[in-house]
Amino acid sequence: MRTTNNMLTNNMLRNIGNNLVRMQKFQNQLSTGKKISVPSDDPIIATRALKFRTDVAELEQYKRNATDARSWMEITESSIGKLNEVMQRTRELMVQGANGTYSPNDLNKMSEEISQLKEHTIQVANSTYAGRYIFSGFKTDKKLMDEEGNFAIEVENTERMLYEVGVGDDMSVNVPGGDLFNGGDNAKIPTAAKAEGTVPIAFPLTITTGVNDTLALSVDGENINIAIPPGLYANDGTLEANIKTQINIQTLIADDVEVSLKNDILMITSGETGLNSKIVINTDPVISNALADLGMATVNEIAGEAGKETGSLMKLFNDVLEAINLGDNNAIGNLLTDIDREMENILRVQAEVGGKLNRTELTLSRQDLDVYNFTKLLSDNEDADMAETIMNLQNEENVYRASLSGGAKIIQPSLVDFLQ
């Protein structure tokens, strides 16, 4: 086969280009510190790198979760520790007040200090971490207690906040308020009183069309007009049954409304509970006259009120203050059993939090080791060996220089040399 100068030149340029590409590869490794720049350089290394990077990112997130959980429980442990100190001091004062040797003036001073300890307990109950109330269960935006020490919200002991600190490893970090401040029971609020509207009735009652056959009222915000069939009514249940049926037909918001008659007093009771529950008998002058014709002498408006519940711990403070203010030494002594029970419950919760905190520390230590190990695997997989890379680069550079030198000698003859 005939070899031309053009073929020599093209082969030389192609080979020099290949040498340059190989040299560029090692230059990239040296400058980036990585074995590959794009997945096509080595798909296996690229796949492993993605997996290792995902694993490291997950571990870092678990570590952040565990750190946040530790901070939450440190605040909780600190708050419980303060509460334990409060109870210790309260018990000391109770022991002093129970021996009967202190004057009324001394007991007043004890009462003042215990009142301050009670206020501090309320502050502990409303402790926060990063703007979240730590003892309020899932309702972290609301206080556990009001200013009087009553539960402001209901918290079930099952309201546990979980932090995922590992694969399938969920850790409960919070203490529901009732577990600590109600002797292990839930934090409860009693059902609110139902709203009632009461109006006296004079029997026998005559209903006349266009005169007194309409009763206007509002039930939980809904305006209702009751049409009472004309006729003579005795105290036999017919009137209240008629009114009850029509109210419940017309109401859309309120639960079942009860209408009863006791001692000639018509009682309209809303099925709704809470502050939004309200019965309003219309007091418009025209309606008022109609009510007067019905024999209804007065109109009452009673709104339901939210109930209040004091947990066992705050009830103990109230009982202690009452006994001290009365100077009842025996009652103070009897309450020592109650405060010992509350302190034992506090120690139980404190031990639980302490155990979880120790577990969190162990989890963080393990996570630090896991992050190190996976980071090392990631480095071994994709980081270039600098010594080897420099040697390979130098070798490719020598090859490249040699190819340039050889090529220069091969294409050195010119047309003049062939004409000689």
Length of the chain counted residue by residue:
420
pLDDT in tens, 361-394: 999 999 999 888 888 888 777 777 777 777 877 8
Please indicate whether residue 50 or residue 84 has the higher confidence score (pLDDT).
Answer: 84
Domain edges within the chain: 57-188+311-369, 194-293
Q: What is the rounded distance in angstroms from the CA atom of residue 396 to the CA atom of residue 226?
A: 101
186 phi-psi bin (left φ>0, alpha ψ -120 to 50, beta other): beta
Which long-range contacts (C-beta less than 8 Å, at least 24 apart) are formed by 230-238? 231/206, 231/207, 232/204, 232/205, 232/206, 232/207, 233/203, 233/204, 233/205, 233/206, 233/207, 234/203, 234/204, 235/203, 235/261, 235/264, 237/261
Does the structure show a pLDDT above 90 at 407?
no
How far, CA to CA in Å, does 205 sit from each of 202, 213, 224?
Answer: 6, 11, 22
DSSP 8-state class, residue 53: H
Region 260-264: what's the mean pLDDT? 73
pLDDT surpassing 60 at residue 290: no
Confidence of residue 302 (pLDDT cuts 50, 70, 90): very low
Q: Are 299 and 283 a contacting pair, CB within 8 Å?
A: yes
Q: Which residue has the higher pLDDT, 172 or 43?
A: 172
Name the one residue in this structure whose structure tokens are 């007043």.
108
pLDDT score of 305 more than 50: no
* Nearest-angstrom CA–CA distance, 336 and 314: 14
Give the Cα separation of 125 and 408 in Å (integer): 88
Q: Is the peptide bond before 413 cis (omega within 30 degrees of 0)?
A: no
| pLDDT score, position 319 | 92
Cα–Cα distances in angstroms (integers) from residue 402 to residues 12, 134, 197, in the given order: 12, 74, 108
* Mean pLDDT along residues 67-78: 94
Q: 156-167: per-residue pLDDT in tens?
A: 999 999 999 988
Please report the pLDDT score of residue 236 as a whole number.
80
Q: How far is CA 137 from CA 152, 162, 185, 186, in A?
A: 12, 11, 13, 11
Q: Give φ, ψ of 277 to 5 degrees.
A: -80, 130
Cβ atoms of 384 and 33 closer than 8 Å: yes
Integer CA distances (angstroms), 331 to 97, 98, 164, 264, in order: 10, 8, 48, 46
Q: How far apart are CA 266 and CA 281, in angstroms?
A: 12
Q: What predicted TM-score, i.e. pTM, was given to this entire model?
A: 0.63
State whether residue 165 is helix, strand or coil: strand
Q: Which CATH superfamily is domain 57-188+311-369 in?
A: f41 fragment of flagellin, N-terminal domain (1.20.1330.10)
Residue 419 pLDDT > 60: no
User: What are 85-125's pLDDT values in tens digits?
Assistant: 999 999 999 999 888 788 888 889 999 999 999 999 999 99
Q: Quick check: 418 pLDDT over 60?
A: no
Q: Quick check: 342 pLDDT over 50? A: yes
pLDDT tens for 313-329 read 999 999 999 999 988 88
SS3 content of the chain, % helix, strand, coil (to 5): 55, 15, 30
pLDDT of residue 281: 59
